[in-house]
Amino acid sequence: MDIIAVIPTYNESGSIKQVVAEILALPLNIEALVVDDFSPDGTYKLVEEMAKADSRVHLLLRKENRGRGWAGIDGFKKALEMGAKYVVEMDGDGSHSPKFIPEFLANISDGGMVIGSRYVAGGKDESRTLLRRMISGFARRYLSFALGVNIADPTSGFRFFEKTALQKIAGSLSARDPFIVAETLYYAKKNGVTAKEVPIEFMPRIAGESKLQALTLLKYLFRALLLRFKD
């Protein structure tokens, strides 16, 4: 296959079927790899049913060492093992619309990555409260400084990698939690992986509530500074 969509999930039973269906409906040679941390709501059971009906759907079920970051790392490694030329990482709640993936593919460079950005010309993020927007604005500026990257949307978890770029990054990643988003950017820069931002619209969740709270995001900012100076 050309593209594998890696989708880390935890309690996304209300949205995962729609997200996977939209991915597979794209006019691309693309498959979906759902990396589920043994969701209590049975998300993985829905994916098992989809996989039986369509060979383009794959499930990586994780029962130990659970966490958003480790799920992403395992998903990256599995996608590379499966022979993907490109890997797109996205959320399973519907906030990352698959409709942007063809544009990512059109803008990817050899050895590079594409970031789905809400904060470049054409990007939108109108579903968040004013407080969340203020916190996000501060976080974006701080992360760019702390990680030493010139990225308008360093908190975006909607990213598209050419396989050689991901191979350079994957072995360095270690974050158990959503801090992996910042960690990936840092090691991309350190390993000479070029990043291009492509505008997206951040969509409202199909179901459920966000797992990333404002206080947690602020804690990640301190960790970003530690990562840069420790490394």
Q: What is the tens place of the pLDDT at every residue in 29-59?
A: 999 999 999 999 999 999 999 999 999 999 9
Tokens in use for 96? 């990352």
Residue with more model confidence, 209 or 98: 98
Looking at the predicted structure, is the pLDDT value of residue 211 above 60?
Answer: no
Cα 209 to Cα 17, 69, 92, 98: the distances in Å are 17, 19, 12, 20
What pLDDT score does 62 carry? 98
Over residues 71-89, the mean pLDDT reads 98
What is the spatial distance between Cα 184 and Cα 229, in angstroms, rounded to a whole number? Answer: 16
pLDDT range class, residue 87, cuts 50, 70, 90: very high
The parent domain of residue 210 ranges over 3-230
What pLDDT score does 210 carry? 58
Looking at the predicted structure, is the pLDDT value of residue 191 above 80?
Answer: yes
Q: Which long-range contacts (CB under 8 A, 24 or more apart) does 45-50 make?
A: 46/13, 46/16, 46/17, 47/9, 47/16, 47/20, 50/17, 50/20
Q: CATH code at 183?
A: 3.90.550.10
Domain tally, the chain:
1
Residue 186 contacts residue 220 (beta carbons within 8 Å): no
What DSSP assignment string belongs to 132-192? HHHHHHHHHHHHHHHHT---S-TT---EEEEHHHHHHHHTT---SSTTHHHHHHHHHHHTT
Task: Determine the Cα angle at 113 with ends 112 and 118, to 5°.
Answer: 145
Looking at the predicted structure, is the pLDDT value of residue 128 above 70?
Answer: no
User: Which range (2-16, 42-56, 123-137, 208-222) has the least confidence?
Assistant: 208-222
Looking at the predicted structure, is the pLDDT value of residue 229 above 80?
Answer: no
